[in-house]
């Protein structure tokens, strides 16, 4: 069973529209969610920053578990409140801003590619992006730091 199957259940009742609210919205304030996200990212980046990609299943499990939590927080994050009433693009929430400025998704995809993607890992990576883009409360694909890693993950299917 895929590590992300519980995030994006398949079935006729689960195919709600894009405006549907995720099943477990983040009830904490944005600052708390950002602190939790940063903590998960510290744990992941510790594994990613090793000079030699590890083939350890413990590292893969840790990265997957922390990434799962991080991207759930990102998907549930609401756009920041706009100071201007007529802004065409809502300001990024603090988690999305961190993902964009630190290029987090690119780092994750590159780590997976350096490790080597078996068919299960490829599917898990694609489901990760499917969940993130399909359930996000913010327009993610307008950001290169989300669009490029998404396309790179899809391109790894060759």
CA dist., res. 76 & res. 65, Å (int): 17
Distances (CA, A) of 79 to 34, 94, 128, 137: 13, 9, 20, 7
Instruction: Report the predicted TM-score, pTM, of the whole model to 2 decimal places.
Output: 0.77
Residue 13 has pLDDT above 90, yes or no: no
- The pLDDT tens digits for 124-133 are 888 889 999 9
- The pLDDT tens digits for 43-60 are 999 998 875 666 678 888
């Amino acid at each position: 069973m895929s590590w992300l199957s519980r995030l994006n259940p398949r079935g006729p009742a689960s195919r709600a529209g894009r405006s549907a609210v995720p099943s477990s919205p983040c009830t904490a304030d944005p600052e708390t969610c950002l602190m939790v996200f940063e903590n998960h990212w510290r744990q992941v980046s510790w594994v990613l920053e090793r000079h030699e990609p590890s083939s350890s299943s413990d590292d893969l499990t840790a990265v997957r578990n922390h990434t799962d939590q991080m991207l759930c927080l990102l998907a549930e994050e609401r756009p920041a409140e706009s100071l201007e009433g007529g802004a065409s693009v809502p300001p990024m929430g603090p988690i999305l801003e961190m993902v964009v400025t630190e290029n987090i998704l690119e780092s994750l995809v590159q780590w997976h590619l350096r490790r080597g993607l078996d068919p299960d890992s490829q599917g898990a990576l694609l489901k990760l992006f499917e969940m993130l883009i399909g359930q996000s409360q913010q327009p993610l694909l307008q950001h290169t730091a989300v669009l490029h890693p998404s396309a790179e993950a899809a391109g790894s299917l060759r």
